[in-house]
Amino acid sequence: MKKHEPFEDDGRTIVDMSGVEMPSLFLPRKPRQFDPDNAPRENPGQERPWEEPEQLTAGQKFWVILGALKAALLIGSVYLVGLGLIILLMVLFW
């Protein structure tokens, strides 16, 4: 059996956990955003270009919505077919 070696702490800090708090069990709240240097960002609009309303035209927005709906329906149909096959097999074998 392997002998347990004593743990030796070398004193290095990997992550400062002083700002981390335990969440409240009874009163949930939104977590605070922690910014260590509290510096304003240079170009906030360049970080999320997809959120700019003037980027897409009405027709492009329509096709983006239809594409997302198509993807969701394809994924949902795979689950429906799989569940239908499971129910069919259960009915046939019982």
CB 55 within 8 A of CB 49: yes
* Residues 67-85 pLDDT 10s: 999 999 999 999 999 999 9
Separation CA 42–CA 51 (nearest Å) = 17
Section 43-61 average pLDDT: 69
Q: pTM to 2 decimals?
A: 0.41
Residues, the chain, total?
94
pLDDT at 38 over 60: no
Q: What is the dihedral of CA 50, 51, 54, 59, to 10 degrees?
A: 60
CB 52 within 8 A of CB 45: yes
- Per-residue pLDDT at 39: 52
Choice between 60 and 10, residue whose per-residue pLDDT is larger: 60
Separation CA 65–CA 12 (nearest Å) = 51
pLDDT at 44 over 70: no
pLDDT at 52 over 70: no
